[in-house]
Structure 1
Amino acid sequence: MKCLADYDVEVDICLEKPETFSSSLGSESQFEFHIKNKAQEGDKEGSLVSIKIVFEVDQIEDAADISRAILADIINSLAFVTNGRFSPYRLTKIIDWTPGLTSRTLLFFTEPAADAPAIAAIGDEILTFTQELIQLDLSNPLKSAMRWFRLGVAAEVLEEQFQYFWFALEILAQIDKPNDKVPDRCAKCRGALFCSACNEHPKHRAFSTQLIEKLVSDISGDTQGETYGIFVRVRNTLMHGNQLHEIESELPCEAYEVVDKLAGIVWKVICFNVNKKWPVSGRPFLLPSTYVKHLVMAATNMTITLPEGPNGLDIHSCDELGIEASVVRFS
């Protein structure tokens, strides 16, 4: 079956012309896309473009995931060509776009409002603690690690969160680097490698990867290296151009749990380094149950009728379709 997915994308560069641009990728392409400027909404900062994608899918339930991957290819290419910002804002609807139907399925998507109220949790004690922390003479590497940690907390994409937290961990591993020499380890069992000719375990100053491994082991208590191995597997997957979902089924836990584990380790190492300057025990920290942004999205399933003209379905025939709905936060 064919489906149409309608996305709003935040941009800082929009189309010169008001008309819709329709792709001509050829018959071998698995999809087509249509892009058009969209009127700015109320007091929303920034501009939007509408990107509609028509593609093949086995069942409409899979359309959202498949369309997100296609959208990523489109906006990645646009960002490269224009050096501009193209950030997915929301998926508004998916429609069964199979030709010849008298009625077709329509899925409307509703996400929590972007202006949902923040959680009121920052009191005077936390502000005083923060003020004292700012006055500490922290090293530049530690400040840099804290910056990457902040970016990781704020990021909304799982892969981005992992990368930011990993950057922080790499920096933290270099702080107070020990002079002790360490052996190379077997890639399979992690045991110290032995040289039969010299009848000894050759040692050297610890490499960056070994410093990170020791740090993860010390903080997590995992002396077998399993936690570090998971981190490296994810890191290598991302650095070699693949995506996290491609190996998630091979991991011993959910992908978001990997990110949470890494973030927790980084936070503890930052605490350890701050504690060298100023005791942090008993200080009023706020600790989240997860660092990962879990998006709650409601889908309304409807059946509609769309007229077909001599040239088939009109890509703009769904523009006026709308529904009033909201996702509320329950406490």
Structure 2
Amino acid sequence: MPMFRCDFEVKTDLVLPHEANSVEINTPENYSIRLLNGETDQNGDVIRLVATVVGSSVSIMDAQATLREKLAEQLDLLSFATHSRFEIIAPIRLIEWEEWQIKREMRVFYTTDARQPPSPDLEEYFCKTVQLLEKSGIPAFTRRALKYFRYGLIDNQPEDQFMQLWLSLEIIAENTKERSSIPITCQVCGGSMVCSSCGSSPQRVPMAKQAIESIISTIAGNYAKDVARRQFKARNGLMHGRSTESIEAECKAKLPDIVDELGKLTWHAIMSTIPYDGVEELTFGHRDDEFTNKKLIFSAHIEFTHNGETPHPTDKEIPNPVISMKTNFNHQE
């Protein structure tokens, strides 16, 4: 497969000593990662790392995602080794990186949050809704679920968003489930199990899974079985360390769409536990049931030549164009 180089901006708690040029990590799969100090603030302190990742990919269309994944795997280990944070902020540039290649394609990236700048729609009636909900007497477990719902909206990766939203949903399910014992049923027909010796029907207290299924049934109606099956497949896959691709294949849906579905379920589940009397009207906002955080990535495609005496151009020999993108809350320019 062809070789590529992609540079990434990394937010971190640790940077290189001032006298160090770079440090390098090499993987058994022949991917190399070079870390060097990035931009500085007004006091001259380094505030970012730049991670240069070199390795193979199917094509230039897939290279940025492939190399980002390899970088993330090594940053997981680096966080483990240092007890420090390493967060990939955005790609900077992607370059064809075959040795002695003269004509090279390069893509320079500009990344921004899809919801930037914020829309000027925080109206007073939303704050009134907050006050009315507050006065209703929100249970303590609901407040905990609300916290993880907010965390689910903050996280940047759909895998992380899913886990936060699922925790919120599970808190609601665990605290609202039926406490009385129910019969243990047959997994094939659904009938109650009966002991062959004494004829009694063994019982148990419902588990969180049954409680979550009950919540989904109430919210999703006729689509509840398909929704529950998809959500539990995603949950089990993520909890057991499976790849996003395999989870999406099994669920027959993209993970961002699954997160959007879970966000809607969790919102309704939380709302069902708030004892609001309905005397005054509540006003809620929405984003067309889109909960997954998205990035806008603009890339400029550039070609340049390298006729030097080394297999690859040095950093100073690589073009360094400056690109920008102006956005507003109605459209992107």
Structure-2-length-normalised TM-score: 0.88
Corresponding residue for 2:285? 286
**Equivalents in 2 of 1:61, 1:223: separation in Å?**
36
5+ long unaligned stretches in structure 1: none
Answer yes or no: is 1:195 the counterpart of 2:201: no
- SS at 1:308 equivalent: coil
**Equivalents in 1 of 2:46, 2:230: separation in Å?**
39
**Equivalents in 1 of 2:237, 2:6: separation in Å?**
29
Alpha-carbon spacing, 1:139–1:46, altered in 2? closer, same or farther (3 Å): farther
**Equivalents in 2 of 1:226, 1:281: separation in Å?**
36
Asked if structure 1 preserves the Cα contact closer than 8 Å seen for 2:133 and 2:276, the reply is no
Corresponding residue for 2:12? 11
Task: Report deviation, 1:249.
Answer: 2.0
Code of the aligned partner of 2:87: S
**Equivalents in 2 of 1:281, 1:175: separation in Å?**
27
Corresponding residue for 2:95? 95
> C-alpha offsets along residues 18-73 of structure 1, whole Å, 9 cap, x if unaligned?
433242637x5321111101123679x98210000110123211101111111111
Q: How does 1:29-178 map to 2 (within 5 A)?
A: 29-40=29-40, 47-112=47-112, 116-178=116-178
Asked if structure 2 preserves the Cα contact closer than 8 Å seen for 1:298 and 1:327, the reply is no
**Equivalents in 2 of 1:206, 1:132: separation in Å?**
33
Task: Report deviation, 1:202.
Answer: 3.9
Code of the aligned partner of 1:286: G
**Equivalents in 1 of 2:186, 2:120: separation in Å?**
50
Alpha-carbon spacing, 1:123–1:181, altered in 2? closer, same or farther (3 Å): same
Structure-1-length-normalised TM-score: 0.88
Task: Report deviation, 1:223.
Answer: 7.1
Asked if structure 1 preserves the Cα contact closer than 8 Å seen for 2:3 and 2:54, the reply is yes
Task: Report deviation, 1:255.
Answer: 1.8
Answer yes or no: is 1:328 the counterpart of 2:311: no
5+ long unaligned stretches in structure 2: none
Corresponding residue for 2:21? 20
Alpha-carbon spacing, 1:196–1:237, altered in 2? closer, same or farther (3 Å): same
Task: Report deviation, 1:295.
Answer: 2.0
**Equivalents in 2 of 1:257, 1:278: separation in Å?**
33
Asked if structure 1 preserves the Cα contact closer than 8 Å seen for 2:141 and 2:171, the reply is yes
- SS at 1:169 equivalent: helix
Q: CA RMSD in A?
A: 2.7
**Equivalents in 2 of 1:162, 1:105: separation in Å?**
36
Between the two proteins, the alignment pairs up a number of residues equal to 326
Task: Report deviation, 1:129.
Answer: 2.0
Task: Report deviation, 1:207.
Answer: 1.5
Task: Report deviation, 1:222.
Answer: 4.3
Asked if structure 1 preserves the Cα contact closer than 8 Å seen for 2:177 and 2:208, the reply is no
Corresponding residue for 1:301? 301
**Equivalents in 2 of 1:286, 1:115: separation in Å?**
15
- SS at 1:130 equivalent: helix
Of all paired residues, the percent bearing the same amino acid is 20
**Equivalents in 2 of 1:37, 1:19: separation in Å?**
9
> C-alpha offsets along residues 193-230 of structure 1, whole Å, 9 cap, x if unaligned?
53372667643221222112211112221476322221
Asked if structure 2 preserves the Cα contact closer than 8 Å seen for 1:12 and 1:46, the reply is no
